[in-house]
Amino acid sequence: MKTQEILWGFVLTLFVFGSFLLNVCGDFFWFETTRYIDVFLTVLFTKILTGVIFALLFVLFVWINVVTAKNRLFKKRERERFDAEKWWFLGLVIILGILAGLWFSDWNTVLKYLNPAGFGVSDPVFNKDVSFYVFTLPFYCLVLGFVAYTLVMTIFLVGIFYFVYSKPRRIEYYDYERHLFDFKNIKNKMFPHLSWLLMLLFVVIGVGFWFARYELLFSSTGVTYGAGYTDVNVLLPLFTFLSVFSFIISGLCFVTLRKRNERLLVKILLIFFIVLLVGLGFAGVTQAFVVKPDEFNMERIYIERNIQNTLSAYNLDKIEGKQFQVDYNLTFKDIQKNNRTINNIRIWDWRPLKETYKQLQLFRTYYDFLDVDIDRYEIGNEYKQVMVSGREINTENLPSNAKTWVNEHLVYTHGYGIVMNPVDKVSEEGQPVFYIKDIPPSKDYFVIKRPEIYYGEKPSEYVVVRTSTKEFDYPSGEDNIYSIYNGSGGVLLDPVKRFVYALKLGDIELLVSSSIKPESKILMYTNIKERVKKICPFLMYDSDPYIVVSDGKLYWIIDAYTVTDRFPYSEPVYIRGYGVINYIRNSVKVVIDAYNGDVKYYVIDDSDPLIRTYRKIFPALFKDFSEMPEHLKLHIRYPEDLFIVQAEIYSTYHMRDPRVFYNKEDVWVMPEEIYSGGKQKMLPYFIIMKLPDSEKEEFILMIPFTPKGKDNLIGWMAGRCDTPEYGKLMVYQFSKQKLVYGPMQIEARIDQNTEISKVFTLWSQAGSGIIRGNILVIPVENSIIYVEPVYLKATEKGTLPELKRVILAYGNRIVMKKTLGDALKEMFGGEREAEERKTKETAEEKLKRIADLYHNAMLALKQGNLSLYAGYIEEIGEVV
């Protein structure tokens, strides 16, 4: 090789491996500070080891075949010419080997295969434990994929080798005229060699068809997910036959090798593909002409398997279902008896509340409230539901002339404090009543010793602390207060680490800045989602972390899930950012210190086989839930993302009868609601309430259901958040013989209420925008009440929304008052007087009421709202 070629090869190698080493060193230093260096080393070692093994096996196998081809093609004295030109070919093989190592170095699959935990559940077709499909089969397929890749690339490269080096213009000692088009000579030398490779390839194909039998359990061709009638009775025998036939073909390749009968080989291959096509065609015919005409009876057993395994995979098989007999006998005494529920009804919608926070509590443009979370606290001997948000730093909001490297990375390093308000209280001006507000935090019920937020939900930017430049802490009047970071987080920037991070981050300022001292630290991955994913990339994380005030400090809690798409017969769902899954468990609660960045993973569900496997792989990573401090256990809650997935699955899979399921006779959906004038899907919401048959109020996550295509309520689901009942799911179903209004029906009745419409029209004419917040469906005793806040916002830019009215619906009545308390008094406080008025009502008044109800009923009928129409007709019957 020429010196120039060697030099360029060295430069390329240095660039590739230099970048790799730079990233490894940077991550190594960072993981050291998190105390999870063993996780990093385990993953890195497995990646390198599997990658190197696969790469070496590939290069070794391919090169052995290249050398074999050389020996078959050249005479001994002619091989020296190839040896002089072999470097380009060897380089190509090495590059392909490196790619193979990168593609197949799946550390997660390898480690799970080596450390499996049993599920204790077997599939109904092959009677194998689910762990085989989750841990073992993926590893087998990984190895099989590598072997297939190696064989295919070898056949391709060896074929090229034979044709390239058989041409006399490349090999000058060949007789040009005699051998230029002498492909017979090439074939005679190449055919035996490729027959050996083809023999091995058909062994791989046979194993592949054998594994394909197991993959039928994840078929989506039938009426439900999983192996159906055609899969089990046609494709399973077909794949078994093709697997055995592939092994036979492999043996026949050996026969053709000895007899040099390539025509026989072509005939065998043709028969193989004909059998494959005929078999697949027969499967299609069976599905269309045998299964479809009697689909339910043919697929019944497979539908039952799908229902059973789906409920098990989503942890819905032990759900507690109860009947909820709705009546409308709620009295003011019942309201008073359930005052803990009533005093925790959320009248603050988080969307306008976030705008209000920004208007009232930012104080400076470089602060931001990124989200509003919901939690509960014991405040003054009251169990209160609150809304809370962290005041984070956001350097994107700095003036353009202030966006310097020093300001963005050395000065504005952290946010400061939180705001908190009860969900049910509003000031005379329509603004929240704060428990915690201002800078420094003004609070009556909490002690916050560390209000600084270095780690939060803001986009991840590195910051450097303990420099000669003071860090901005918080504004105080016309002055600013500065501070120095005293936490344990961050990587100490010695000269070597400064050099590494300057190159890794592509920021020369880290290397040349005079503000950085020997005791300076760099804080990286300050976005909490990125931080936890960096440490544990194999878990799935909830999209809504929430901030907690506990033991005088600020913490973030993130729910983490173990997931797989390898649970047989379980219906898959798509999760944005993670792909398709068909098994999920909320196995881990992650706690992040907002000041130090310490991350701790607490296992809350040790029965999950996936988390037991990961605990084997990373024994020092996870802690038992019993080790979580008691003050943090008070703030765990049922995760929203999991609840949404479970609600969507259960809305169909509550139908456990296979015929009802097949006909989709009773499909539920999460209802719609009106927000700010437009329709949107209703999301689960937290509430403090007393469940039916329960002794006391508790913090729950709930969502109502409506029948598909209808607007009336059919039931509701609740996830319990408080220990010791944490994690239990309850479903309460209404009688199908009695109409219970759904959110959209209540919204329609609000629109048709003349008194409310007058107020809305008046506000709109005054140049203000009306925001109708999210409607809450709240069970109280055996009744249902509906609460919807109404906000008023001026059209001018920079104005804040004010909570001006609360709409309360109960039965056939709707009232709108300034506060929820006033609405409750109007609805229930004057019940006795209302009853007296009803007994004294004249025939003329009754006729007028009937006429009004009839008018509303006809209006609902014109709008196509049949359930609302039925409600008005029912009310007419009551009057009559």
- What is the residue-wise DSSP string for 798-811? TPPPEEEEEEEEET
Do residues 754 and 815 share a domain?
A: yes
Measured CA to CA, the distance from residue 346 to residue 687 in angstroms comes to 8
Distance CA 197, CA 153 (A): 11
- pLDDT of the residue at 176: 44
Say if residue 295 is in the same domain as residue 350.
no
Q: Are residues 413 and 370 in the same domain?
A: yes
C-alpha to C-alpha distance for 271 and 30, rounded to whole angstroms: 59
Within-domain flag for 493: no
Which residues is 474 bridged to in the sheet? 481
User: Is residue 725 classed as helix, strand or coil in its secondary structure?
Assistant: coil
Q: Collapsing DSSP states into helix, strand and coil, what is residue 716?
A: strand
C-alpha to C-alpha distances, 127 to 121, 770, 871, nearest whole angstrom? 9, 60, 53
Would 446 be classed as within a structural domain? Answer: yes
User: Is the same domain home to 761 and 848?
Assistant: yes
747 assigned to some structural domain: yes
- The string of DSSP codes covering 515-534 is T--TT-EEE---BHHHHHHH
pLDDT for 10 equals 59
State both tokens at 160.
């090229």
Using alpha carbons, select from 669, 676, 813, 671 the residue that is nearest to residue 749: 813
What single-letter DSSP state applies at residue 147? H
Of 415, 438, 453, which one is at a domain's C-terminal end?
453
Helix 37-73 with 79-104: angle, nearest 10 deg: 150
In a domain, 869, yes or no: yes
Rounded CA-CA distance 131/110 in Å is: 14
In a domain? residue 90:
no
pLDDT at 866: 53
Last residue of a domain, one of 394, 419, 453: 453
Q: What is the mean pLDDT of each run of 10 residues along the chain (880 residues)?
A: 57 69 93 95 96 96 89 68 68 90 94 97 96 98 97 91 64 46 62 86 96 96 94 96 93 74 78 91 93 95 97 94 90 91 95 94 92 94 95 92 94 96 94 94 87 94 94 88 94 95 93 94 97 97 97 96 98 94 98 97 97 97 96 97 98 96 95 86 95 91 96 96 94 91 94 89 79 94 94 80 94 93 87 48 65 71 59 64
Place of tokens 């950012």: 577
Q: What is the DSSP letter of 426?
A: B
Asked whether residue 256 falls in the same domain as residue 300, the answer is: yes
Specify the number of domains making up the chain: 3
For 823, the 3-state DSSP assignment is helix
Write down the pLDDT at residue 842.
60
Q: Which amino acid is at 325?
A: Q
According to DSSP, the β-strands at 678-681 and 685-689 are unpaired
Q: Would you say residue 466 lies in a domain? A: no
Last residue of a domain, one of 409, 434, 453: 453
In a domain, 654, yes or no: no
Burial of 615 (0-12, 13-18, 19+ CB in 10 A): buried
Task: Evaluate whether residue 501 is within a structural domain.
Answer: no
Domain that holds residue 379: 344-453
Do both 245 and 360 map to the same domain? no
